[in-house]
Amino acid sequence: MTTQNVNLNSMEEKLIWFGLTLTYPFFAFGGLYIMGSIIGWMILAIVLLRWYVNGKDELAIIPVIVWLWIIGGLFMFTALLIAHTNWDLGLAKTIKSSIGWAKGWALLPLFLFLGAFVDIKTQLIIRAVCILSFQTLIFAVITFILYKMGVNGDLFISPLQVIGGPGESFFKVSFFGLNPESGAGRWRFFTPWAPAAGFMACLFLIFSCQEKDVFWRRVGILGSLVMCLLSQSRAGWAIYIALLPLCLLSKYFRNPVCLVILGIAIPVILLLGEPIFNWLNTSYLDLKASRPNSTRVRNTLEVLALQRWESEAPIWGHGIVEKGPKIVEGMPIGTHHSWFGLLFVKGIVGFLALAIPLIFTSIYLVWHSFKSKICYHAGLMLAVIICYSFFENLEILSFIFWPALLWIGISLNPLKSGEQHA
């Protein structure tokens, strides 16, 4: 793929570039989960070696908020160890869960640190995401034709599954899947399941709208749109629609005139609050009714996780997810929702370990978004991540949304996030 206008000046930038642009080749043999889980640690090893040999770069600082994320990650690991001890889960499960932590929750502070500490060009990330979005568009066209021809969408499960992971879906290679309730085609692309594809489509939109090259910007946005539509993710559709004006009209939101308009619009919205609420509520209920079984399973999992957390392990959690009863079709308790999952697995300690740095990061990005384009778009990415934390488990998807974490990390370094670097 072309690297025109994007110079790869370091091994760290090369790893990021090829880690993104070679996503589909890795997916083709079921190795994407492994690549996405270790790429951050590979970059960290290079960074530490370079820092030891050459010394610290002037832009290489670790912001206070990034330290909060690092401390939060360590608290999650502490909760993991204590919960395994409390529930006598044994050394083997403790080691397995520790590796899972390194491939999951630890990736959040890791990539935020790398974004803040390492000299990475923002245009490199944007162009790489646009290329990946373009590849997604090509993949969608080809597989849609195959779907219409009646070809079986599932190909194989990679033998790399023996290395271990959250489930076989992370190693499954397929063109498309089928909606279990409607029987229609449903695309997950390179992600473990279709709703995660909707998640990535929203992030791709934010990246693509920043591309300066007209061709790559258009194909990036088009690829993200097709990805969102074919994923059939209810949350993805809603968030994508909300993002469109925020991305495409972002240059107007720092204009004082825009603030005046908002000041007039807010009282009007308040006066029309009841009819607007009724319309939104009706739309939400219709959306939930589109896949009632999925909604029922998710709601039941949340109730079970909350009840068992309160009654059995309020402080440190249960240490691991547990297979659910028949009423939730065997789905593990502690999945499908980041916050209830944290409470169930890591207790209130794990919950606060994510909530506290997330709150401070949100405040920081909102405050600085009016004077920095990087912070503005980082705020949009963080908003998408927060929204999806109520539909997905961020831990097991961190191996694919790490580009957004890198970007947020860049935005948290004031030496990188000013207008002159945007």
Give the closest residue to 97 by CA, choosing from 311, 317, 303: 317
| Interatomic CA distance for residues 258 and 139, integer angstroms | 39
Strand partners, 178: 185
Residues 394 and 72: their CA atoms lie apart, in Å, by 15
Q: pTM of the prediction?
A: 0.88
Q: Residue 306: which residues within 8 A CB-CB, separation 6 or more?
A: 340, 343, 344
Query: In whole angstroms, what is the distance from residue 235 CA to residue 41 CA?
Result: 31
Query: For residues 221 and 244, is the Cβ–Cβ distance under 8 A?
Result: no
Low-confidence ranges of the chain (pLDDT < 70): 1-5, 56-59, 181, 251-296, 298, 324, 326-330, 334, 336, 418-422
Considering only the C-alpha atoms of the chain, give the largest distance between any 2 of them, rounded to a whole number of Å.
64
Burial class (CB in 10 A: 0-12, 13-18, 19+), 304: buried
CA distance 311 to 313: 6
Question: Which residue ranges make up each domain of the chain?
Answer: 11-179+291-421
Strands 322-323 and 332-333, bridge-based pairing = antiparallel
Contact 345, 320 (CB under 8 A): yes
**Looking at residue 420, what is its pLDDT?**
41
Determine the Cα–Cα distance for residues 23 and 135; give it in Å rounded to an integer.
9
pLDDT at 332: 76
Report the alpha-carbon distance of residue 151 to residue 153 in Å, rounded. Answer: 6
Tens of pLDDT, residues 16-50: 999 999 999 999 999 999 999 999 999 999 999 98
- Which candidate, 386, 377, 374, places its Cα nearest to that of 413? 374
The answer to whether residues 243 and 206 touch, using CB atoms and an 8 Å cutoff, is yes
Please, what is the angle between helix 338-368 and helix 64-86, to 10°?
170
**The tokens of 271 are what?**
């006066």
Please state, in angstroms and rounded to a whole number, the distance separating the CA atoms of residues 306 and 339. Answer: 10
Encode pLDDT of 69-108 as tens digits.
Answer: 999 999 999 999 999 999 999 999 999 999 999 999 999 9
